[in-house]
Amino acid sequence: MKKIAMFTMGTRGDVQPYIILSAELKRAGYDVTLGSHPYWRNLVEGAGIRFEPIGPDIDIEKEAAIIRGKNSNPVLSMLRLMNFVFKIIQNSTAEIYDVCKGKDLIVVSHSQMGATEAEAQGIPTINVTLQKEMIAEKLKPQTFRDKLIGGIIGGQAAKPYNKIRKVYGLTPVKSSDEIISRRLNLVPISRHVLKRNPYWEDHHVLTGYWYEEEEDYIPDEKLANFLADGEKPILLALGAMSFEEKSDKAKLDMFVRAFERAGCRAIIQGFQKTLKSYELPETMISCGSVPHSYLFRHCLFVIHHCGFGTSAATMIYGIPSIPAPHVLDQMGFAAQLYDAGVATKPIESKKLSEETIFGAISEMKNRYEEKKRNAELISAKIKEEGGVKEAVRLIEKAMET
């Protein structure tokens, strides 16, 4: 039995795609190990995947919330969060190296975890990239200015990886692009949402989204009764962006007042600290972790932070959305949704207010039928792609070469 390992760091949205890929590889007969923060052990093992703890036992979503809370600028916020994660990766290289031992393939995640450790042991790799901006346009004619700017940015991006390469006596790289596998780079986005960049090299492949089949989920009595008691509600699901370092009543107030003003029922996920002492109107309830495959089918539309996983899920399950991105990569996913005709114009985090939320809800109501139809059409096409099965097929083909 061939042995495969992969590693990922970050919030749940950074882990979920690799759980889905691991499960499909396991079904295809591979021995799969997924390494991540000890915090995600239950999530990974709950999916039936072998787990290896990597790095310190910290509440990564809380740490991310603290970093974001100190930086209103989305670019700075993302850079500081990346630096935080890179430091963990750098300090965890010995653990990663040990997990790589004896493996036949390392699947390298978007953070490049495992790439250097695999190279040091002569183990083949394939890559996964969630953000199209991270893929170099190698086939694009380059001016001198392009080469100069690219060299400066590439050199900065390569610094944390070169620190790890030095540990194993490997030659420094000039750009993080040099670390990406030349064998295969999987991009788990639908071609119906993202047009393939003509300047990408052939080994960068759009597979379609990776998702789990819809499960037979039974909601608790509170949620079941609420859903049965009136019109379809709005879902507020800001993911890790609603994980609070401390109570954030002012932010929740904005959404609650906008929902009341728009005459909408609503389900609220997150804001757990605030909700401990917060009385919601009868037209709204809070709920914990509920599968997207269930909740999205029962809601009118979703207001979300545009993390990779939630953005994909809105299109997989055919629900329109109001994007409220907070950091740089989320802005890219928000633009994809808007361009696909399944979302309103994104609300910038610095412009988030009762007025902008109400305005976005009004825009959604005015064009709801169109956006719902677009979302359902894209959903049908995505399900025909069979993204995760295509990814496994490509991995098997790559392992043969």
Residue ranges per domain, the chain?
3-208+386-400, 221-383
Distances, alpha carbon 93 to alpha carbons 121, 133, 171, 211, in Å = 13, 26, 17, 30
User: Given this chain, do its domains 3-208+386-400 and 221-383 carry the same CATH topology?
Assistant: yes
CA–CA separation, 111 and 87 (whole Å): 12
Select the more confidently predicted residue: 240 or 395: 395
CATH topology of domain 3-208+386-400: Rossmann fold (3.40.50)
CA–CA separation, 261 and 283 (whole Å): 12
CATH of domain 221-383: 3.40.50.2000
- Strand arrangement, sheet containing 125-128: 50-53, 31-36, 3-7, 105-108, 125-128, 185-187, 204-206
pLDDT (0 to 100) of residue 78: 63
5 in Cβ contact with 106 (< 8 Å) = yes
Confidence of residue 19 (pLDDT cuts 50, 70, 90): very high
Least confident of 20-24, 331-335, 391-395: 331-335
DSSP annotation of 298 reads G
pLDDT (0 to 100) of residue 106: 97
What is the token pair recorded at 266? 């609503």
Distances, alpha carbon 269 to alpha carbons 55, 73, 159, 218, in Å = 28, 24, 38, 17
- Strand arrangement, sheet containing 266-269: 284-287, 266-269, 234-237, 302-304, 321-323
Confidence of residue 76 (pLDDT cuts 50, 70, 90): low
Confidence of residue 55 (pLDDT cuts 50, 70, 90): confident
pLDDT, tens digit, 9 for 90 and up, residues 112-127: 899 999 999 999 999 9
Mean residue pLDDT across the chain: 87
Confidence of residue 108 (pLDDT cuts 50, 70, 90): very high
Confidence of residue 271 (pLDDT cuts 50, 70, 90): confident
Name the pTM for this structure: 0.86
Distance of alpha carbon 115 from the chain centroid: 20
pLDDT, tens digit, 9 for 90 and up, residues 316-349: 999 999 999 887 778 889 999 999 999 999 998 8
266 in Cβ contact with 366 (< 8 Å) = no
Which residue, among 96, 141, 90, 143, has the nearest Cα to 117 in the 3D structure?
Answer: 96
Question: What percent of the chain is modeled with pLDDT above 90?
Answer: 57
pLDDT, tens digit, 9 for 90 and up, residues 231-258: 999 999 986 554 555 557 888 899 999 9
pLDDT (0 to 100) of residue 89: 85
What is the token pair recorded at 86? 């890179």
- Which helix (H) or strand (E) segment is 6 a member of? strand 3-7
CA–CA separation, 256 and 283 (whole Å): 10
CA–CA separation, 336 and 200 (whole Å): 18
3-class secondary structure, 218: coil
Least confident of 85-94, 108-117, 152-161, 189-198: 152-161
